[in-house]
Amino acid sequence: MEISEPRGNRSWRRAIGVILGAAVVAGAYTLSSPDRSTANRNPPAGSAVKAPPSPTVEPSARPVLLTIDLRHVGARNTASARTASLALPRRRLHATIFLPPGCAAGKCEIEIRDSAGLARKSMSGHVTLIDGRAVLRSTLDLSGLPSGPYRLALRQEGQDWMTVPVHLTK
């Protein structure tokens, strides 16, 4: 007399065999498919990875962070304010300018004037009060101006222009 396996067990074995076979076929397909190859996957640990080249930016095109402290140049348009001289690069500047006491929060006009007093560049910025001090933040684009002497002119609404001599460098 032969002992045979119950019918239910054979069915389960067949089903498991079919599932394992399908998994092997799916794995082989995944590895052989060009858009799913190992080239598009994370490299193994310890292997060298080459990053794509980053775009190069000329140093002269990068903005410069600049802080100008005008709190100690004296009252507006006095002799001490006119004698202070600042050297500024002829580039795009992200400027933080500490203004003299008495300046309020709000919009501020900014001009770069030539020796004849004509505005060569006009910009604007916003003055905020930080710990009771007036701070102007603005972007100054001085890249198109030739080197030489200029005046940095600042004015808030309802106020007189405050000017400070500057020298634009290469």
Residue 91 sits in a domain whose CATH number is: 2.60.40
Confidence at residue 32, expressed as pLDDT on a 0 to 100 scale: 54
The secondary structure of residue 13, as a DSSP letter, is: H
Find the largest Cα–Cα distance for the chain: 123
* Residue 58 belongs to a domain: no
Number of domains in the chain: 2
My answer on whether 23 and 70 are in the same domain is no
98 inside domain: yes
The rounded percent of the chain whose pLDDT value lies above 70 is 55
The pTM score is 0.57
Q: Please indicate, yes or no, whether residues 99 and 20 belong to a single structural domain of this protein.
A: no
Instruction: Quickly state the pLDDT bin for 77 (edges 50, 70, 90).
Output: very low
Asked whether residue 89 is assigned to any structural domain, the reply reads yes
Q: Does residue 57 lie in a domain region?
A: no
21 and 86 share one domain: no
Residues 164 and 81 in one domain: yes
Instruction: Kindly state the tokens that stand for 58.
Output: 């000329």
21's enclosing H/E stretch is helix 7-32
Which pLDDT band, with edges at 50, 70 and 90, does 14 fall under? low
Average pLDDT over residues 29-57: 50
Same domain, 88 and 144: yes
Within a domain: residue 52?
Answer: no
Mean pLDDT, rounded, of the chain = 73
Nearest to 142 by CA among 165, 103, 164, 169: 169
Whole-angstrom distance, CA of residue 25 vs CA of residue 109: 71
37-46, 58-67, 73-82, 88-97: which range is least confident on average?
73-82
Same domain, 165 and 82: yes
Residue type present at position 93 = L
**Are residues 110 and 31 located together in one domain of the fold?**
no
Residue 151 within any structural domain of the chain: yes
Within-domain flag for 49: no
For 138-144, what is the mean pLDDT? 90
pLDDT at 17: 60
Beta strands in 3-118 (DSSP E): 64-69, 86-89, 92-98, 106-113
Residues 147 and 78 both lie in one domain: yes
Q: Which domain range does residue 14 map to?
A: 8-38
Q: How far apart are CA 93 and CA 138, in angstroms?
A: 8
pLDDT for 34 equals 53
Per-residue pLDDT band at 101 (split at 50, 70, 90): confident
12 and 89, same domain (yes or no): no
Claim to verify: residue 29 and residue 98 sit in the same structural domain = no
Residue 130 covered by a domain: yes
Straight-line distance from the first to the last Cα atom of the chain, in angstroms, rounded to the nearest whole number: 105
Q: 88 and 156: one domain? A: yes
Q: What is the pLDDT of residue 119?
A: 96
